Chain A
Amino acid sequence: MLSLEGLLQFVLSGLQVTVMITVVSLCIALMVGLLVGCARLSRHLAVRWPAVVFVEVFRGTSELVQLFWAFYALPILTGYQLSPIAAACIVLGLNQGSYISEIVRSAMLAVPRAQREAVVALNLPVLTAFRRIILPQAIPRMLPPLGNQAIDLLKATSIVSMVTVADMTFRAQQIRTLTGQTLESFGIILALYFALSSIIGFGVKLCERRFAIGPGSSESGRSKVRVAA
Chain B
Amino acid sequence: MTWDWSYAASLLPDLLHGLVVTVQVTLLASALAIVLGIGMAVTWHLRVTVLSPLLLGFARVVRGTPLLVQLYIIFFLLPDVMPALSPTTSAVLGLGLNYSCYMAEAVRAGLAGVPVGQWEVATALNLPPRKMWTRIILPEMIAPTLPVIGNYINSMFKISALVSAISVVDVFNAATIAGNSTYRYLEPFTMVGLLYLTVSIPVTILLRLAENRVAQRQGSHAA
- Fill in one digit per residue for B173-184: 1 if any A CB lies within 8 Å of its CB, else 0: 001100100001
**Given A64-B162, A64-B172, A186-B72; A193-B65 close (CB under 8 Å):** yes
Closest A residue to B176 by beta carbon equals A68
The reply to whether B65 and A183 form a contact with Cβ atoms under 8 Å apart is no
Distance between Cα atoms of A78 and B90 in the complex (Å)? 38
Pairwise interchain contact A162-B165, C-beta atoms closer than 8 A: yes
Asked if B193 CB lies within 8 Å of chain A CBs, one says yes
With known contacts A159-B68, A183-B77, A72–B1 Cβ distance under 8 A: no
B172 lies within 8 A of A62 (CB):
yes
CB neighbors of B among A45-97 (8 A): 56-57, 59-66, 68-69, 72-73, 76-77
| Main SS at interface, chain B | helix
* Contact (Cβ within 8 A) B193 A186: no
Which residues does B use to contact A, with CB under 8 Å? Answer: 1, 61, 63-69, 72-73, 76-77, 80, 158-162, 164-165, 172, 175-176, 179, 184-186, 189-190, 192-193, 196-197, 200-201, 204
* Residue A20 interfacial (CB < 8 Å): no
Q: A60-B200, A65-B196 are in contact. Are A76 and B1 (CB under 8 A)?
A: yes
B186: A residues at CB distance < 8 A: 72-73, 76-77
Let me know if B65 and A197 touch, CB within 8 A. yes
Partner of A61, one of B77, B162, B179, B200: B200
CB–CB A186/B73 < 8 A:
yes
Query: Count the A residues whose beta carbon is within 8 Å of the partner chain — how many?
Result: 38
CB distance from B33 to the nearest CB of A (A): 17
- Whether B204 pairs with A60 at a CB distance below 8 angstroms is yes
Min CB distance A164 to B, Å, is 13
Inter-chain contact B66/A73, CB cutoff 8 Å = no
Q: In the complex, what residues of B have CB within 8 A of residue A62's CB?
A: 158-161, 172, 196
CA distance A176 to B69 in the complex (A): 12
B197's partner among A57, A68, A76 (CB-CB below 8 A) is: A57
Partner of B189, one of A69, A161, A169: A69
Any B CB within 8 A of the CB of A189: yes
Would you give the 0/1 interface string for A193-225, flagging 1 where the beta carbon is closer than 8 Å to chain B? 110011000000000000000000000000000
Q: Which of these, A66, A173, A182, A193, contacts B66 with CB under 8 Å? A: A193
Tell me which residues from 167 to 203 in chain A have a Cβ below 8 Å from any Cβ of chain B. 169, 172-173, 176, 182-183, 186, 189-190, 193-194, 197-198
B76 and A66 contacting across the interface, CB-CB below 8 Å: no
B190 touches A69 (CB 8 A): yes
Q: Are B66 and A169 in contact (CB under 8 A)?
A: yes
Shortest CB-to-CB span from B186 to chain A, Å, is 4
CB neighbours of A197 from chain B (8 A)? 63-65
Measured CB to CB, the nearest residue on chain B to A156 is B66
7 pairs, A vs B, C-beta closer than 8 Å: A64-B162, A65-B193, A72-B179, A151-B64, A161-B68, A183-B80, A186-B73
Is A186 in contact with B77, judged by CB distance below 8 angstroms?
yes
* A149 interface residue (CB < 8 Å to B): no
The distance in angstroms between the C-alpha atoms of A158 and B67, with both chains bound, is 9
A158 & B69 in contact (Cβ 8 Å cutoff): yes
